């Protein structure tokens, strides 16, 4: 716990019903130290509630640090041009400025509910054979994000399993922007993340190709206009209504095979109005010349790609890297400690009452990417109102005062 020494952390040692372990007390246990969990800590602190914040990562920040530290963060009031890493650097001191206990590098093993409704959360330090820690709290806030952070890359893409784990050909996040300097980069996806990565990489990359299976991009109008401007400049190629069907890596040659979704008709380049308004009934979308098969069964493009075979509705792109931005699959079932709590799960996420952020389990709340409710927006901004709402509900229930227990055995 790098910053733990700065705070008054009071630990009581006793034999719990779970095992011989250190037992700590807090008003609230927050599981997850991403943006949602951190801000929940701030809300607890400002409300006079003691809290313990737990995360399996060695430092706070969640996805912002683990997946895309150098990607720009948009939509947060007061931050115009800030990377995810810099945003977390500013958020952490604010959120962890109050009395609290932080257990970073700890995983939650189980959560039991005592007869009086108190939760006992058992954790263990990652990579150590130490005895578990137990935290007793009246309230739990689950802010576990996307759980195991496994990218949603379709297993049906041919050749994907043949790519070496040590290869940097296939990416699912953007750790270091500089690695794309002077490179040919393909980005798969059409949402905010894909567009954000494209806008971040275009100024330094040799070329960027944005590939999307639908006929329109789904992000803000401002970002769409930027995409249109880069596309007109020639630094960006936009390919719509197209799927990635195969990845091939042979030596230093890396090829992405893309397949058009509607036969062999030539594809037209989308106009700016089609791009911004989301397409029309006629064809929109490939900014790439596709050579049809000749009578000999080969094409100039096939020759340019080292002789890899092609069908007439396919194109092959030589790139240095491909970044998949198809999102991350929520996998609440991976959180084995949820089984004992048994909150309602919908589509792999925890269902909550949006008016309170409470789950189906009394005094157990959930916020951030791990939750689902009607019209849920998947970006950073809802984390703040969700955390505030959950803590205000806890405060309104009259949580215990901050525990003052002294260490004992």
User: Does the fold of domain 160-324 match that of domain 4-149+328-396?
Assistant: yes
Residue 292 tokens read as 């049809």
Backbone φ and ψ for 311, nearest 5 degrees, come out as -95, 165
Tell me: pLDDT of 278 over 50. Answer: no
To which H or E segment does residue 30 belong? strand 28-31
pTM reported for the whole predicted model: 0.70
pLDDT at 185: 95
- At the second CATH level, the architecture of 160-324 is 3-Layer(bba) Sandwich (3.50)
The ranges assigned to domains in the chain are 4-149+328-396, 160-324
pLDDT at 12: 29
Average pLDDT over residues 100-105: 92
As a whole number of angstroms, the distance between CA 3 and CA 9 comes to 11
Backbone φ and ψ for 125, nearest 5 degrees, come out as -65, 135
Residue 362 tokens read as 């009394």
Q: How deeply is 213 buried, as exposed, middle or buried, from its count of CB atoms within 10 A (0-12, 13-18, 19+)?
A: middle
295-307: pLDDT as tens digits: 334 333 433 333 3
12-40: pLDDT as tens digits: 233 334 444 568 999 999 999 999 999 99
Contact, 21 vs 131, CB < 8 A?
yes
pLDDT at 274: 40
DSSP calls for 284-317? --B-S--PPP-TTS--HHHHHTTT----TTEEEE
Residue 135, beta-bridge partner list: 24, 121
Average pLDDT over residues 135-146: 92
Tell me: pLDDT of 409 over 70. Answer: no
As a whole number of angstroms, the distance between CA 43 and CA 98 comes to 10
CATH class given for the domain over 4-149+328-396: alpha beta
Contact, 171 vs 148, CB < 8 A?
no
């Amino acid at each position: 716990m790098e910053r733990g020494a700065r705070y008054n952390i009071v630990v009581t040692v006793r034999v719990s019903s779970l095992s011989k372990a250190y037992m700590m007390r807090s008003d609230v246990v927050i599981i997850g130290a991403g943006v949602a969990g951190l801000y929940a800590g701030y809300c607890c602190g400002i409300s006079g509630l003691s809290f313990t914040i737990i995360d399996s990562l060695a430092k706070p920040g969640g996805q912002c640090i683990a997946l895309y530290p150098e990607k720009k963060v948009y939509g947060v009031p007061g931050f115009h041009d800030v990377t995810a890493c810099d945003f977390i650097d500013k958020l952490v001191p604010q959120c962890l400025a109050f009395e609290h206990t932080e257990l970073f590098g700890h995983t939650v093993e189980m959560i039991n509910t005592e007869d009086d409704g108190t939760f006992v959360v058992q954790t263990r330090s990652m990579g150590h054979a130490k005895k578990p820690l137990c935290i007793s709290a009246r309230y739990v806030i689950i802010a576990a994000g996307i759980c195991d952070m496994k990218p949603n890359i379709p297993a049906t893409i041919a050749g994907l399993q043949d790519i070496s784990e040590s290869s940097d050909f296939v990416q699912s996040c953007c750790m270091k922007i500089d690695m794309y300097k002077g490179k040919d980069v393909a980005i798969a996806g059409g949402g905010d993340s894909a567009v954000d990565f494209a806008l971040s990489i275009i100024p330094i990359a040799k070329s960027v190709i944005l590939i999307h299976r639908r006929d329109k991009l789904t992000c803000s109008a401002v970002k769409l206009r930027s995409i249109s401007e880069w596309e007109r400049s020639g630094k960006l190629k936009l390919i719509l209504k197209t799927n990635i069907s195969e990845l091939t890596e042979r030596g230093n040659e890396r090829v992405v095979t893309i397949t058009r979704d509607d036969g062999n008709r030539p594809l037209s380049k989308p106009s700016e109005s089609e791009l911004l308004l989301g397409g029309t009934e006629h064809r929109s979308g490939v900014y790439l010349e596709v050579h049809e098969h000749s009578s000999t069964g080969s094409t100039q493009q096939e020759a340019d790609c080292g002789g890899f075979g092609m069908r007439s509705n396919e194109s092959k792109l030589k790139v240095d890297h491909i970044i998949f931005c198809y999102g991350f699959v929520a996998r609440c079932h991976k959180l084995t400690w949820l089984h004992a709590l048994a909150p309602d799960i919908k589509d792999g996420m925890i269902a909550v009452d949006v008016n309170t952020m409470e789950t189906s389990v009394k005094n157990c709340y959930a916020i951030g990417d791990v939750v689902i409710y009607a019209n849920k927006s998947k970006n950073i901004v809802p984390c703040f109102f969700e955390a505030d709402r959950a803590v205000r509900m806890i405060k309104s229930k009259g949580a215990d005062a901050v525990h003052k227990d002294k260490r004992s055995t």
